[in-house]
Structure 1
């Protein structure tokens, strides 16, 4: 396997990682920002208040995007297996 092929596989892997993890990270960011804004507006500075909404939202996002994540990871594995079968 040449250096160029290794870089191609690594770039594809990073792109798949970003596609799979992106929706959950964006939801966690938006929920965290909304709860922080609510805490600032109401002056309730309870640090544990942010965790429950964020966990529920990320879990719901995980359930909704599970088929997309499975397809993206299966496609990546298929491309890797095709490279292995082709000999590099």
Structure 2
């Protein structure tokens, strides 16, 4: 049982979490930036104008990216299951 194996598993897990979170957050950030620029240009200070488009884009990103994210999670889980003999021995 080498500690490098566990460090590698944690590194892969954190990388996967960062990728999956950024897949849903980045589109929301882009839409939020565009709406903020629009609000600054037109002097509209309505909070729902900022919230609703970001919510819709985040839900859409989760809907369309969930299959890809689930495939990534399943692949990671399979690789962890395949590493069990290396960890035990």
TM norm structure 2 = 0.89
> In structure 2, what is the Cα distance between the partners aligned to 1:45 and 1:2?
57
> In structure 1, what is the Cα distance between the partners aligned to 2:57 and 2:48?
15
**Segments ≥4 residues shifted beyond 3 Å:** none
| Residue 34 (1) aligns with residue 34 (2) | yes
C-alpha root-mean-square deviation of aligned residues, in Å? 1.2
The Cα shift of 1:31 comes to: 0.7
1:16-61 deviation line (CA, Å, top 9, x unaligned):
1122122211101101101100110110112332111101001011
| Residue 17 (1) aligns with residue 17 (2) | yes
TM norm structure 1 = 0.89
Q: Size of the alignment, in residue pairs?
A: 87
Q: Which runs of 5+ in 1 are unaligned?
A: none
